């Protein structure tokens, strides 16, 4: 029976996707659940799996094309099966579908759930047997064994696959191996760079075109739409407070001394403190819903993460108020790593009730963040700065951080936001509270 491969709906906001690369070509054999192509959604890159076995009989969309959610991308069928009817249906579907817009999918597009499998968390592979050491990329016929996703990631990062240890079956290189090699490479570069060294200037272009236009990625289009939907309709106001971070600094250093693998960050402590403060001030853990204000009974905190090449995504720490600092730290690191490789699942970057955006690690002392609708607030975190402070009439060296709460005035009043920040400040300045 012929199986259609459809453009999946990778997130609630996705209306179209871009075909990045076909992993199979016309005439290739396809197995059920085998990755057949890679697409770019408004949030992540993901591989689309075949729902049936057979031959890839027809590819209907070329790499690089943008198509609406639900559009037929290809047809998988038995070699002798007549697919004329399926192709005619796909052609009429294409004609009936208006050009991609930022509205809902056009009438006539069949539900994506009909033929598209849920996106995998990564490239399917079997772990190496316990106790066996990973080997460098194994070559078969002069070609290193690696999954399609691993090959693409290595190409983007400029890594030599033959120098990467593979932990997949038979020494096959998988996504996690490339991510590990990328992290190791970055650590080596940082270790070898002189403190504060600036990169060399790129060559000038005195001749040639004055400029070049780069098409917006799906993620950047979504960011543009969401910002317009936020700053225009949402009445923002901002509250800034300065917090003494000395005890938070001591907590971080002590925890990392006891467990060097933990690598607790200020952001981990801030997320945990936010979660506790939201429990005490549920009116801030809320969102505007047109004719109602929704008070959320669970605390799901989004952590803003920048994506290489431009873009932003917010993986979510669910039930952050019920998790320990080590749990939050480890979960955040895992989500951030997969966010930057664009491999988050939809449920991992949707459903936040409050967000935190931290630019302190980039040397920014203070800024105001834009609310991510329908959330009612977002916290902008600046750098922890060593500075002279006045304590009981004398000057001391302190460690201070400036934090700005952006509030949707339809949900959070000035006094409500100020009380929340006051509690948040008290918790950060007495972080032992987080242990209870």
Q: Which of 40, 32, 35 is nearest to 11 (CA)?
A: 40
Q: Which of 57, 58, 72 is nearest to 19 (CA)?
A: 72
Comparing CA positions, the residue from 5, 43, 41 lying closest to residue 22 is 5
Alpha carbon distance 247, 432 (integer Å): 9
Query: Which residues carry out catalysis?
Result: 409
Structure tokens at 312: 């932003």
> What residues contact 379, with CB distance under 8 A and at least 6 apart?
270, 274, 354, 355, 356, 357, 369, 403, 404, 405, 406
Distance, CA of 421 to CA of 415 (rounded, Å): 10
CA distances 39 to 45, 121, 370, Å, are 6, 14, 28
What residues does 244 pair with on adjacent strands? 400
d(CA 353, CA 335): 17
Backbone CA torsion sign across 189, 194, 198, 199: negative
- In order of 138, 144, 148, 169, the CA distances from 128 in angstroms are 13, 17, 18, 6
- 302 close to 355: Cβ distance less than 8 angstroms: yes
In angstroms, the CA 109 to CA 106 distance is 6
């Amino acid at each position: 029976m012929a199986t259609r491969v459809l453009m999946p709906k990778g997130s609630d906001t996705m209306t179209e996707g871009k075909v990045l690369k076909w992993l199979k070509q016309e005439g290739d054999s396809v197995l059920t659940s085998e990755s057949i192509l890679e697409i770019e959604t408004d949030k992540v890159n993901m591989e689309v799996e075949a729902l049936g076995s057979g031959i890839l009989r027809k590819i209907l969309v070329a790499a690089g094309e943008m198509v609406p959610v639900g559009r037929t991308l290809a047809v998988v069928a038995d070699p002798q099966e007549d697919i004329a009817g399926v192709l005619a249906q796909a052609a009429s579907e294409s004609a009936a579908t208006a050009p991609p817009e930022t509205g809902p999918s056009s009438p006539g597009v069949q539900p994506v759930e009909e033929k598209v499998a849920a996106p995998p968390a990564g490239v399917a592979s079997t772990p190496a047997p316990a106790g066996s050491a990973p080997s460098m990329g194994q070559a078969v016929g002069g070609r290193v064994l690696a999954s399609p996703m691993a090959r693409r990631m290595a190409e983007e990062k400029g890594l030599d696959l033959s120098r990467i240890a593979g932990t997949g079956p038979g020494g096959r290189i998988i996504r996690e191996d490339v991510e590990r090699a990328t992290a190791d490479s970055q650590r080596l570069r940082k270790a070898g760079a002189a403190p504060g060294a600036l990169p060399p200037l790129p060559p000038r272009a005195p001749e040639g075109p004055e400029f070049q236009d780069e098409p917006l990625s799906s993620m950047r289009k979504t960011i543009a739409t969401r910002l317009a939907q936020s700053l225009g309709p949402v009445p923002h106001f901002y509250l800034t407070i300065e917090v003494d971070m000395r005890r938070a600094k001591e907590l971080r250093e002590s925890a990392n001394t006891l467990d060097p693998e933990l690598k607790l960050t200020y952001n981990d402590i801030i997320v945990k403190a936010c979660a506790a403060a939201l429990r005490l001030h549920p009116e801030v853990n809320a969102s505007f819903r047109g004719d109602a204000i929704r008070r959320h009974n669970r605390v799901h905190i989004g952590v803003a993460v920048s994506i290489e090449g431009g873009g932003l995504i917010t993986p979510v720490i669910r039930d952050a108020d019920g998790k320990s600092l080590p749990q939050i730290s480890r979960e955040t690191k895992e989500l951030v790593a997969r966010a930057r490789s664009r491999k988050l699942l939809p449920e991992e970057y949707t459903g936040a009730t409050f967000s935190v955006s931290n630019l302190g690690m980039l040397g920014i002392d203070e800024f105001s963040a834009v609310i991510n609708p329908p959330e009612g607030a977002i916290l902008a975190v600046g750098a922890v700065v060593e500075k002279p402070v006045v304590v009981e009439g004398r000057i001391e060296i302190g460690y201070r951080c400036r934090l700005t709460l952006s509030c949707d005035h339809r949900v959070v009043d000035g006094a409500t936001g100020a009380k929340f920040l006051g509690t948040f400040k008290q918790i950060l300045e007495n972080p032992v509270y987080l242990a209870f």
